[in-house]
C-alpha cells in the first residue's frame, strides 16, 4: 500500500482486552469500504501485551501500521505520534482504542469532509459513564468555553476526522503540553460537529488516571486562556482599592471622631484571606511559568521505539 486516502489513528495503553474486538470492527469497516485506509496503532508503552499484539498484526496485515513508543507518554502525545506517522493523503480519523468512539461512523464523517469541512468533530450527546465523571466533564467544558480565547466546541473530545492540511499544521505545532481538541479549534478552516452517543468502553477500565485527567483539564485551561492571570491581577487591583478606601475611612474617623474600634478578628480574617489569594495568584503564575519551562527544553514530544509499515520494520 503506497498512499492510503485515510488513516485511522488509535492510541492504545494496556488495551490487550479490547484489542481483538477493535481489530475485528476496524477490519470489517475496511472490508466494506471503497476507501483505501491504513490503521495507525500507537502503543503508548503498555505494560500488558498490547505492543506484541500490534507487532504481530502489523507484520502480517499491511493495512495496519504499528508505532511503538519508548515508554508511556500519555494519550495526547501518543495521539501526536500517531498523527505525525499517519500517511493518509485526504484525512485522518482519530479514535480511542477502547471503542468508545465507534469506528463505523467513518463513512458519515467522510461524507461531511467531502462536503468541504476540514474538521468533522464528534459531539457527545450522551455518555455512558458514571455521574461524577459526567458532571466533571459537563462543568469543565462550560468553564473552558467561557474563559478560553479560542472557541472550543462543547462536549467534543479528540474523536474527529481531520483533513490532511489541518494535520500538517498540527504536526508543525511544537507545544509540549498538548490539548489537541483546542489546537484543532485554533487552526480554523471549516469545522463542523457531528452528534453521537458515546459508548461505554468495550472492556477493561479507563486508562486515564485522575491525575492525567486533571493534567488534561489544566492544559485546556492554561494553554487556551489568559483569564486566570487577568483575573488575579484584577482581583489584586480591586483589593488595593478596597484597602485604600478603608485606610482613608479610618484616618477620617480618627481625625474627627477620635476613637477607632480595634478589631483583631477582622484583621486576621483579611490577612488569611489575602494570603490565600496571593498563594493562588502565585500558583496560577506558576502554571504558566511551568509551561514555559518545559517548552524551553525543546525536547522531542515523543520517542518512537519501533515502527512497522507495509509489514516491515522501518525503525
Ligand atoms: N491512552 C493512552 N495513553 C495513556 C492513557 C490512555 O494512549 O496514558 C489511550 C487509551 O488506551 C484509550 C484512549 O487513550 O485508547 C482513551 O483513554 P481512556 O479510554 O482510558 O480514557 P477515558 O475514555 O476514560 O477518558
Ligand atoms: Mg475511554
Q: Is the pLDDT of residue 197 over 90?
A: no
Q: Which of 39-48, 157-166, 255-264 has the lowest mean pLDDT?
A: 255-264
Q: What is the pLDDT of residues 155-168, one digit of tens each?
A: 888 999 999 999 99
Q: How far apart are CA 149 and CA 223, in angstroms?
A: 10
Neighbours of ion ligand 2 (CB under 5 A): 96, 98, 100
- 158 pocket-lining for ligand 1 (C-beta < 6 Å): no
CATH number of 6-224+301-314: 3.90.550.10
Q: Which of 102, 301, 94 is nearest to 199 (CA)?
A: 102
Instruction: Report the mean per-residue pLDDT for the chain.
Output: 89
CA 49 vs CA 10, 176, 290: distances in Å = 16, 28, 35
pLDDT band at 264 (very low <50, low <70, confident <90, very high): low
- 97 pocket-lining for ligand 1 (C-beta < 6 Å): yes
Q: Is the pLDDT of residue 40 over 90?
A: yes
Q: How far apart are CA 248 and CA 240, in angstroms?
A: 12
Pairing of strands 160-163, 304-309: unpaired
pLDDT band at 150 (very low <50, low <70, confident <90, very high): confident
Q: How far apart are CA 62 and CA 58, in angstroms?
A: 6
Q: What is the pLDDT of residues 198-240, one digit of tens each?
A: 888 888 888 888 888 888 888 888 888 888 888 887 887 788 7
pLDDT band at 260 (very low <50, low <70, confident <90, very high): low
Residues 6+ apart with CB under 8 A from 113: 90, 91, 120, 161, 163
pLDDT band at 134 (very low <50, low <70, confident <90, very high): confident
Ligand 1 atom nearest to 79, measured from its CA? 7
- 196 pocket-lining for ligand 1 (C-beta < 6 Å): no
- What are the sequence ranges of the domains in the chain? 6-224+301-314, 227-296
205 alpha carbon, closest ligand: 1
Q: Is the pLDDT of residue 261 over 70?
A: no
Distance 125 CA to ligand 1 centre (A): 20
Distance 209 CA to ligand 1 centre (A): 9
pLDDT of amino acid 8 = 97
- 44 pocket-lining for ligand 1 (C-beta < 6 Å): yes
- 231 pocket-lining for ligand 1 (C-beta < 6 Å): no
Q: Is the pLDDT of residue 82 over 80?
A: yes
What three-state secondary structure class fits 313?
Answer: strand
Q: What is the pLDDT of residues 85-128, one digit of tens each?
A: 999 999 999 999 999 999 999 999 999 999 999 999 999 887 77
What three-state secondary structure class fits 74?
Answer: coil
Q: What is the pTM of this model?
A: 0.81
- 72 pocket-lining for ligand 1 (C-beta < 6 Å): yes
- 22 pocket-lining for ligand 1 (C-beta < 6 Å): no
Distance 19 CA to ligand 1 centre (A): 13
pLDDT of amino acid 107 = 95
Amino acid at each position: 500500500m503506497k498512499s492510503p486516502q485515510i488513516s485511522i489513528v488509535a492510541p492504545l495503553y494496556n488495551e490487550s482486552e479490547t484489542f481483538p474486538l477493535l481489530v475485528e470492527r476496524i477490519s470489517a469497516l475496511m472490508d466494506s469500504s471503497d476507501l483505501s485506509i491504513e490503521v495507525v496503532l500507537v502503543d503508548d508503552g503498555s505494560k500488558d501485551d498490547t505492543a506484541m499484539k500490534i507487532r504481530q498484526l502489523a507484520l502480517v496485515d499491511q493495512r495496519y501500521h504499528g508505532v511503538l513508543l519508548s515508554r508511556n507518554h500519555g494519550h495526547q502525545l501518543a495521539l501526536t505520534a500517531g498523527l505525525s506517522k499517519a500517511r493518509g493523503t485526504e484525512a485522518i480519523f482519530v479514535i480511542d482504542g477502547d471503542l468508545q468512539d465507534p469506528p463505523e461512523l467513518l463513512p458519515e464523517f467522510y461524507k461531511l469532509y467531502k462536503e468541504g469541512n476540514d474538521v468533522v468533530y464528534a459531539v457527545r450527546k450522551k455518555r455512558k459513564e458514571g455521574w461524577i465523571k459526567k458532571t466533571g466533564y459537563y462543568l469543565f467544558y462550560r468553564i473552558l468555553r467561557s474563559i478560553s480565547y479560542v472557541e472550543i466546541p462543547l462536549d467534543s473530545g479528540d474523536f474527529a476526522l481531520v483533513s490532511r492540511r489541518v494535520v500538517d499544521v498540527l504536526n508543525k505545532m511544537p507545544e509540549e503540553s498538548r490539548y489537541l481538541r483546542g489546537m484543532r479549534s485554533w487552526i480554523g478552516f471549516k469545522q463542523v460537529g457531528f452528534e453521537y452517543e458515546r459508548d461505554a468502553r468495550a472492556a477493561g477500565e479507563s486508562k486515564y488516571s485522575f491525575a492525567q485527567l486533571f493534567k488534561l483539564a489544566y492544559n485546556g485551561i492554561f494553554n487556551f486562556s489568559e483569564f486566570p492571570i487577568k483575573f488575579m491581577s484584577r482581583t489584586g487591583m480591586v483589593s488595593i482599592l478596597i484597602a485604600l478606601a478603608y485606610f482613608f475611612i479610618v484616618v477620617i474617623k480618627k481625625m474627627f471622631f477620635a476613637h477607632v474600634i480595634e478589631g483583631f478578628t477582622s484583621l486576621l480574617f483579611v490577612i488569611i484571606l489575602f494570603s490565600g489569594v496571593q498563594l493562588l495568584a502565585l500558583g496560577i503564575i506558576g502554571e504558566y511559568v511551568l509551561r514555559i519551562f518545559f517548552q524551553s527544553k525543546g525536547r522531542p514530544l515523543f520517542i518512537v521505539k519501533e515502527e512497522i509499515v507495509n509489514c516491515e520494520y522501518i525503525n
